[in-house]
Amino acid sequence: MGPATVHGRCAPGFAGVREAFERNFREHGDIGAAVAVTLDGETVVDLWGGHADAAGTRAWERDTLVNVYSTSKGMTALCAHLLVDRGELDLDAPVARYWPEFGQAGKRDIPVRWLLSHRAGLIAPREPLPAGCAYDWDGVCASLAAAAPWWEPGTAQGYHAVTFGYLVGEVVRRITGQSLGTFLRGEITGPLGAGVFIGTPAEEHARCADMVGQLDEARLAAQFPGGVPRPPFRALSDHPLAVVMLALTSIPTGDVNSAAYRSAEIPAGNAHAGARGLATVYGALAGGRLVGPATLEAMRRSQSLPGERDLTMDALAPAGREHRWGLGYMLNHQGQAGPNPGAFGHGGAGGSFAFADPENRLSFAYTMNKYGGGTTGDDPRSRGLVRAVYRALEGTRG
């Protein structure tokens, strides 16, 4: 393949974002990608380029969708907060108020907010689940309802990489009678005209780019000569990598480029979206058009203790940094979402990243199909784009 052709537009003053986007293809090996930025509800950056497949046979188009992995969590959390804003969901109520079966195995008093802030201790079911189980919503939810937590709920935070979507999604389903993906489309992305799906309809599959690459288990294996351990584990102390392997592999999802995966609802990690669609949603959020001021402030209020580490993230990077969670969102304490500490959003495995910056009335989204960095917004591709956005914003405001 030759150099990627970049399409789209930037508003005056934002040409540096295009330069950073082009640099991602030249220097960071992007195959296909898109970036979008809104300011005061108007799109100021809408760029796309490259290819939707590894072979370079399909161009990345303006409406291309791609699996954004855990960037999905921001959309899933938003569904819950919409219900909070409407008075239909109380974050301090026990989950069992809405989902009675959840109260088994010592979980009767776990509040909803601990699901959103990764403090429930439910990173995986207690029993191994078979291949393809991720597509069995009722089966996974029944397993989680029956499971005892892996640590005392509320005492620690540990990223619920896959279970987050089932846990939050089932609460939404119990209140609304709709699946998470149906509710998202009907109440948020559909009215906004945003290209974001959890449970992508078959007629939209032709728009989907193929992911190229996957989680680098070889890197994990290199840390432990005995190789990457596999569940089942009886306790997190069974192996230094038990927590991350439980969180990532206990609910197998299968081929992420398959029609079955694209059609399924796995709300923690299989939204298929375009950068413009994600930026549209976060732009509406930043502009106060989806939830009221009190709900918006609660969404980005830290649920982490000062200096608290994340059990799952630490297992991935033992020398890693502090992780600070809001209610379903990554908080911007490391500058991955620019200079405003009040910005919030979510990243996805592979490198996608999207966030809202309410103080600057700005939203940002980057999507791509070359699997690269982790879920924390620290991929050099998104970092470079975010820096360019805020340099442009500073320049336009003089």
Residues involved in catalysis: 70
Token pair recorded at residue 143: 């397993």
Query: 188: which DSSP letter?
Result: I
> Do residues 390 and 339 touch, judged by C-beta distance below 8 A?
yes
CA 144 to chain centre: 20
Token pair recorded at residue 192: 């906004």
Q: How far apart are the first and last CA of the chain?
A: 40
Which of 188, 387, 212, 164 has the alpha carbon at shortest distance from 278? 188
Could you give phi then psi for residue 82, rounded to 5 degrees? -60, -40
Cα separation, 347 vs 76, whole angstroms: 13
Token pair recorded at residue 65: 């969708």
Give every CB contact of residue 322 below 8 A, 6+ residues apart in sequence.
304, 307, 308, 309, 333
> Do residues 79 and 172 touch, judged by C-beta distance below 8 A?
yes
